[in-house]
Amino acid sequence: MATVATLILLMPLLGFLTLLLLGHYLSEKQVGVIGTGVVAASFIFAIISFVLLLHDSSREVTVNLFAWISVGTLHVPAALLVDPLSITMCLFVTGISALIHLYSTGYMHGEKDFRKFFIYLNLFVFSMLLLVLANNLVLTFVGWEGVGLCSYWLVSYYFDRDSAASAGKKAFIYNRVGDVGMLVAMFLLFSRLHTLTYLTIFERAGTLTPVIATLVVLTLLLAATGKSAQIPLFNWLPDAMEGPTPVSALIHAATMVTAGVYLLVRMSPVLALSHSGRMTIAVIGGVTAFVAATIATSQKDIKKVLAFSTISQIGYMVLAVGVGAYGAAIFLMISHAFFKALLFLGSGSVIHSLNGEQDMRKMGGLQKYLPLTFPTFLVGWLAISGIPPFAGFWSKGDVLTNVFEHNKALWALGVLTAILTAYYMTRLFILTFRGTERFREDTAGHDPHESPWVMTTPLVVLAALTVVGGILDLPWVHHDSLAGFLAPTFGYVAAGGHADTLAQYGLALVDVAAAVFGLLAAYSIWRNITESSRYESSFLEHVWHWDDFYDATIGRPLTEAAQFSDDVIEPQVIDGAVTGLAVSVRRSAEGLRKVQSGFVRHYALATVLGLAVVIVYLVARVG
Amino acid sequence: MNVPAAWYLILAAVLFGIGAFGLLTRRSALIMFMCIELMLNAVNLTFVTFSRTLNDISGQAIVFFVMVVAAAEVTVGLGIVVAIFRRRSSTSVDELSEMKG
């Protein structure tokens, strides 16, 4: 078990090091094979670990690698924690990543930095696995930072484009803000519990005072909003679309954005201590889901729509975490990984066939030209819209059922978001695949071509997973389901909903009705038009002016403060102090030079007077 | 006849005062030298006086040291005065104010 679990982690690292050190001597094909192969091997080891874990009655294996930090009372081992949660994450992270790696060998074919791309990709997967498998917060933080760093490199992969370079910086800086939250949470936990190892934290969590527990939960939430692109730190994710499409798929489906949700789920025993903290999490998730969905309805770039849809779906996951439905959150995370990877890779295939065009107004009628992308995308579209029997229906239903039990207002917001989700995805689907052909300009009159097999195979596999993904956790199965498997990790938190069957059917019907309503609304509006000022308000297109708000409240004042420093503080205060010192030395020297008259008599007089003073002093002392 | 020690001390003080006054008022380097010698010998006189009064030989020993140092000082000082006189045909110290700040 220990060896296999370590190998999950080490395979991508091996790939990274091989490509880094020897990649120079390898052909593009060999680089692709190694890069994809190591992640696939990692997936196989994850499956083996999973099987081994099923036969382990404790369902909890700690693998000690070596003692890493040992200072005073702080002992941080480099150790892995293999439990149902981490192994579930490992399975889908490595599985989806392997497919995306395979896809990338086709998508990135002929790029001049092909090798570099796979180096980053492997390091990305390694960081994510480290984050997931770590048995303490510090090691998780290393993976957490690694993920942030790789996303920076990959988002600004086309760094000679200004927009890509600044998008990378934006992603990095937004993530830094979140990292502060994680660090503060770690400091708080260590100062109170004197440990950073998960299992020990959970044992001692009961001794936390309510105020500290709430603070920890809120700082963890801040960390999660940064990494998982939630309000108020969500703006970096749409900009991250500047990276190559497989990177978007990787960030959105398998690695990175799920990290925040994972952290919250991992810390569930601490979350359980703070009701107000959980409530905040739920509200942030629900509001983010809704806001992002409204924005997605008015975006013109196919990848931007998908980006906001990711934010919205992650919002659902955070909402589920907030109401304590951790199993539902993980279920949605996995099924979302399936269909979002599918949608991103599908959109990549579309973009690839149109020579890089991303504007949906210049697509349309692609149905007959892309015989494999079209049906797989169709599956992804129906799944995210929440149409049964696809994975999205079951997982979103699971989340909404749980939310319904806790908070009716947030449930209503969730259903509203579901309508919007179906609406914007249908709009995207119609504009891309149906309607008139508007792409001739981009393809120079040629028919678009279907992508090569390395790109379509992942699509087919992901589509199959999206179709059957629901069986992971069907509402009427209790023990042999994902929730049943994860239950030991969440301890006392009950797996599955408590609502009676009738209510469950009722809620499912509401979900379907919401999906169908959104779908039909979009169909009736977007059947014949490609843009509409009425349904694409500029307020929504400009992301609720969120960036402008940050620019006005943070960006511009800070720029002005910097300008003020440059204009006033630097020349007057700092230079003033330096030149002031020089001037005062010169002035006082000018005064003092008069003493040096050059006349011997004056010096002699000074000596005599000094002598007189000494004598008077001595006499006065004696007398 | 036994002269009281105070008289010697008063004489020494007067000699020292004359020397100091001369040093501060005269311009000729030679006269200033003589004044310095006067002050040194005034101090010597007090040394000898106290040596006798306290019946301690060390005061007289120090006087010899002072005389040796004074002789050496005069040798160097007069050498410098002669060198200056050769350059300037004057021994007025007021003209030697190049070190003015």
Rounded to the nearest integer, the mean pLDDT of chain A is 88
Q: Which of A594, A598, A608 sits opposite B98 (nearest CB)?
A: A598
> According to the model, what pLDDT value does residue A324 have?
86
Q: Closest approach of chain B CAs to the CA of A578, in angstroms?
A: 26
Q: Do B93 and A600 touch (CB under 8 A)?
A: yes
* Neighboring chain B residues of A608 at a CB cutoff of 8 Å: 20, 24
Q: Under a CB-based contact definition with an 8 Å cutoff, are residues A364 and A432 in contact?
A: yes
Q: Which of B3, B6, B32 is nearest to B18 (CA)?
A: B32
pLDDT digits over A372-390, tens only?
889 999 999 999 998 888 8
Q: Name the residue of chain B whose CA is nearest to A602's CA.
A: B24
Rounded distance between C-alpha atoms, residue A262 and residue A291, angstroms: 22
Q: Which of A594, A595, A599 sits opposite B94 (nearest CB)?
A: A599
Residue spans per domain, chain B: 5-89
Q: Name the residue of chain A whose CA is nearest to B29's CA.
A: A600
pLDDT category at B1 given cuts 50, 70, 90 is low
User: Residue A98: left (phi > 0), alpha (psi -120 to 50), or beta?
Assistant: alpha
Looking up tokens 């090569």 gives A452
> According to the model, what pLDDT value does residue A494 have?
47
Interface test with B, best of A595, A596, A600 (most B CBs within 10 A): A600
Q: Do A598 and B93 touch (CB under 8 A)?
A: no
Question: In this predicted complex, what is the ipTM?
Answer: 0.80
> According to the model, what pLDDT value does residue A499 have?
52
Rounded distance between C-alpha atoms, residue A196 and residue A192, angstroms: 10
DSSP codes joined into one string, A342-371: HHHHHHHHHHHHTTT--BGGG---GGGT-T
A503, two tokens: 């209510």
> According to the model, what pLDDT value does residue A446 have?
74
Provide, rounded to the nearest whole percent, the portion of chain A with pLDDT above 70.
Answer: 98
Number of H helices, E strands in chain B: 3, 0
Interface test with A, best of B39, B84, B93, B95 (most A CBs within 10 A): B93
Q: Do A599 and B98 touch (CB under 8 A)?
A: no
pLDDT digits over B75-96, tens only?
999 998 899 889 888 888 877 7
* Neighboring chain B residues of A596 at a CB cutoff of 8 Å: 99-101
Contacts of A535 (CB under 8 A, 6+ apart): A297, A298, A525
DSSP codes joined into one string, A486-553: HGGGGTTSPPS--S-HHHHHHHHHHHHHHHHHHHHHHHHHHSS-S--TTTS-HHHHTGGGHHHHHIII
pLDDT category at A128 given cuts 50, 70, 90 is very high
* Neighboring chain A residues of B25 at a CB cutoff of 8 Å: 601
Q: Closest approach of chain B CAs to the CA of A596, in angstroms?
A: 5
Provide, rounded to the nearest whole percent, the portion of chain A with pLDDT above 90.
Answer: 39
Pick the CATH number of B5-89 from 1.10.287.3510, 3.90.1150.10, 1.10.10.10, 1.25.40.20: 1.10.287.3510
pTM confidence score:
0.79
pLDDT digits over A255-269, tens only?
788 899 999 999 988
Q: Which of B24, B32, B101 sits opposite A596 (nearest CB)?
A: B101
Rounded distance between C-alpha atoms, residue A276 and residue A210, angstroms: 10
**How many contacts, defined by CB atoms under 8 Å, are there between A and B?**
32
pLDDT digits over A277-289, tens only?
999 999 999 999 9
pLDDT digits over A55-98, tens only?
887 788 888 888 888 888 888 899 999 988 999 999 989 999 99
Q: Which of A261, A306, A502 is nearest to A399 (CA)?
A: A261
The residue-averaged pLDDT of A556-581 equals: 92
pLDDT category at A114 given cuts 50, 70, 90 is confident
Does the pLDDT at position A445 exceed 80?
no
Q: Name the residue of chain B whose CA is nearest to A592's CA.
A: B101
The residue-averaged pLDDT of A485-498 equals: 61
Q: Which of B20, B23, B100 sits opposite A597 (nearest CB)?
A: B100
pLDDT digits over A220-258, tens only?
999 999 888 888 888 888 888 888 888 888 888 777 888
Q: Name the residue of chain B whose CA is nearest to A611's CA.
A: B20
Q: Under a CB-based contact definition with an 8 Å cutoff, are residues A261 and A294 in contact?
A: no
B53, two tokens: 């009064």
Q: Which of A245, A363, A365 is nearest to A304 (CA)?
A: A245
Q: Do A599 and B20 touch (CB under 8 A)?
A: no
pLDDT digits over B22-80, tens only?
988 888 888 988 999 999 999 999 999 999 999 999 999 999 999 999 999 999 999 98
Q: Which of B20, B25, B99 sits opposite A596 (nearest CB)?
A: B99
Strand partners, A75: A70
Q: Name the residue of chain A whose CA is nearest to B20's CA.
A: A608
Q: Closest approach of chain A CAs to the CA of B82, in angstroms?
A: 18
